[in-house]
Amino acid sequence: MRIPSLAILPVCKRRVENSLSIVIATSGRLEKLGRLLEGLYQVRGWERSNHEIIIANNAPDEAGGKAVEDLVREYSRRAGPRCRQVREPVPGKCRAQNRAIRQAGGSILAFFDDDLEVDPHWLEAVLNFFSIFPHDVMQGSILMHPEDRNDARLKEALQRYRTIDFIDYGYAPGTDIRTLTGGNIAVKREVFDQAGMFNERLGPGEAGISEDVEFAKRLLRAERRIGYEPRAIVYNEVDWSRLTEEFFRFRHEQQGRSRLVYKKNSVLTIIPNLMRSIWTFGWYSLVGNERRKYRAKGRYYHYRAMLREKTKWLGGISM
The DSSP secondary structure of 19-31, one letter per residue, reads -EEEEEEESS-HH
Tell me the mean pLDDT in the region 36-60: 93
Q: What's the rounded mean pLDDT across residues 137-144?
A: 98
Separation between Cα atoms, residue 108 and residue 19, nearest integer Å: 6
β-strand 20-26 against 108-113: which pairing, if any? parallel
Task: Determine whether 149 is exposed, middle or buried from the number of CB atoms within 10 Å of its CB (0-12, 13-18, 19+).
Answer: exposed
pLDDT, average across residues 251-271? 95
The pLDDT assigned to 312 comes to: 76
Lowest pLDDT segment from 1-10, 60-69, 206-215, 257-266: 1-10
pLDDT for 91: 96
Q: How far apart are CA 86 and CA 261, in angstroms?
A: 27
CA dihedral 174, 182, 302, 296 (to 10 degrees): 40
134-150 average pLDDT score: 97
- Which is more confident, 314 or 228? 228
Mean pLDDT on 172-186? 97
Q: Is the pLDDT of residue 314 over 80?
A: no
- Which sign does the torsion angle of CA 221, 101, 234, 33 carry? negative
Residues 6+ apart with CB under 8 A from 82: 51, 52, 53, 76
In this prediction, residues 109-115 reach a mean pLDDT of 96
DSSP, collapsed to helix, strand or coil, labels residue 236 as strand
pLDDT grade, residue 3 (50/70/90)? Answer: low
Q: Per residue in 50-79, pLDDT tens?
A: 999 999 999 999 999 999 999 999 998 887
Architecture of the domain delimited by 16-239: Alpha-Beta Complex (3.90)
Mean pLDDT of 28-40: 95
The structure's pTM equals 0.90
Has residue 195 got a pLDDT over 90? Answer: yes
Looking at every residue in the chain, the average pLDDT score rounds to 92
6-16, pLDDT tens digit by residue? 644 443 333 34
Is residue 50 within 8 A of residue 19, CB to CB? The reply is yes
Task: Find the mean pLDDT for residues 182-210.
Answer: 95
For 135-149, 263-277, 299-313, which range has the lowest pLDDT when averaged over its residues?
299-313
Using the CB atoms, write b or e for 187-219: b if 16+ within 10 Å: bbbebbeebebbbbebbbbbbbbbbbbbbbbbb
How far is it, in rounded angstroms, from Cα 50 to Cα 43?
A: 14
- Contact between 178 and 225 under an 8 Å Cβ cutoff? The reply is no
Sequence spans of domains, the chain:
16-239, 242-311
Spatial separation of the C-alpha atoms in residues 173 and 129, rounded to whole Å: 8
pLDDT over 90 percentage in the chain: 86
pLDDT of residue 17: 62
Beta bridge partners of 138: 186, 227
pLDDT at 2: 53
Does pLDDT of 126 surpass 80? yes
User: What is the mean pLDDT of the segment spanning 134-156?
Assistant: 97
